Amino acid sequence: MKIMNSLTLSAVMLAASSTQIQAASFTDGFYLKANTSYIDKQDNKDSTDEKLETTKSGIEVGTDYFDIGFQRTQYKLHEDNWFAKTKSSYNARKVYADAKYFGEIDSTWNYFVSAGIGSNYADGGLKFNKNYHYSFAAFASRVINSDWSVDLGVAGAINKVGIQPIPVINFKYGDEKAPGFSFKVGLPYNEVAYRFNDIVSVKTSLEATDDIYGTDNGYYGHNYIRDRYFSLNASVLAELNGFYGELGAGYIFNREFRTYDDKGDKYGDKIKFKNGAGVFLNLGYRY
């Protein structure tokens, strides 16, 4: 997912997190969730000698109104040429906290707002004055009838690279907690799910990731690296007595890196990678 000292700004941040935007209703309670994912080696389109391998892991704890989390991303760059085979490893980290609120306007309208703060860095420590990351979301949900609803609003992120806004326009059909089909289509998240019973369900989703990290080892001193890609995922979920697990695989496409100087201005050429594949595991508990 990244090359050199990268920094991640996560889709969750750019889109104010799909888990927040998917929230249909809030119930008081505590939750703990952990995740890990792996993307197999992807070739650099401009250099067949260079391949990128990515591993992510993270943990988050919170309630319906507040959460804190940590994520670590490891990038392994494999180079194989006439002279030698080399492998370099780079680590990026993200720490964050979010406050959020869900409210009802009347029987057909409700709303959701959130604001977050964090730091995304590859080395040199938090350095919040350089590696700060703010996230935000605000949208209203309209219940059309017993099957259909729509979310309308905006989400985004603010960091040294700039402001990355994204519209929230999601049409939702069905109840993902009830047996049968349900789906969400629009921005920033698309999903089709089928629930067999109270325990087992399957789903496929289309997601966008946009990661930005700060590094002290760039060409201009303190630099920023942006990693963007799309993933088409399929997974199986199981839920029982507050515990849940999700195991899935994804097809990674349209992946590219972009570098920015210490002022947040672009420099250099994009680095594009060939399409690849990955796997992921999510675990959690809600009380």
* Domains parsed from the chain with CATH numbers: 11-286 (2.40.128)
**Lowest-pLDDT range of 27-31, 45-49, 246-250, 267-271:** 27-31
Query: What is the model's pTM?
Result: 0.83
261: CB partners within 8 A, 6+ apart: 218, 219, 220, 223, 224, 267
Does residue 186 come out as left (phi exceeding 0), alpha (psi in the -120 to 50 range) or beta? left
Q: What is the pLDDT of residue 18?
A: 35
Sequence-ordered alpha helix ranges (H) in the chain: 11-14, 18-21, 128-131
The pLDDT of residue 233 is: 97
pLDDT of res. 122: 80
- Residue 7: what pLDDT? 27
Asked if residue 29 has pLDDT above 90, the reply is no
Confidence of residue 256 (pLDDT cuts 50, 70, 90): very high
Residue 5 has pLDDT above 50, yes or no: no
Mean pLDDT of 125-141: 83
Q: What is the percent of the chain where pLDDT is above 70?
A: 83
The band of 224, judged by pLDDT with boundaries at 50, 70 and 90, is confident
CB-based contact 274:42 (threshold 8 Å): yes
Report the pLDDT averaged over residues 115-144.
85
- For residues 66-72, average pLDDT: 94
pLDDT of residue 222: 66
High-pLDDT (> 90) share of the chain, %: 55
Q: What is the mean pLDDT of residues 124-132?
A: 71
Q: What would the mean pLDDT of 164-177 be, rounded to a whole number?
A: 91
pLDDT at 126 over 50: yes
Residue 24 has pLDDT above 50, yes or no: no
Across residues 117-133, what is the average pLDDT? 78
Residue 258 has pLDDT above 80, yes or no: yes
Handedness of CA 118, 287, 34, 232 (dihedral sign): negative
The pLDDT of residue 6: 27
Is residue 9 over pLDDT 90? Answer: no
Work out the number of other CB atoms within 10 angstroms of the CB of residue 137. 23
Asked whether the predicted pLDDT for residue 149 surpasses 80, the reply is yes
Assess whether pLDDT exceeds 90 at residue 101.
Answer: yes
**Distance in angstroms (rounded) separating the CA atoms of residues 5 and 12:** 21
Structure tokens at 287: 């009380």
User: For residue 17, what pLDDT is reported?
Assistant: 35
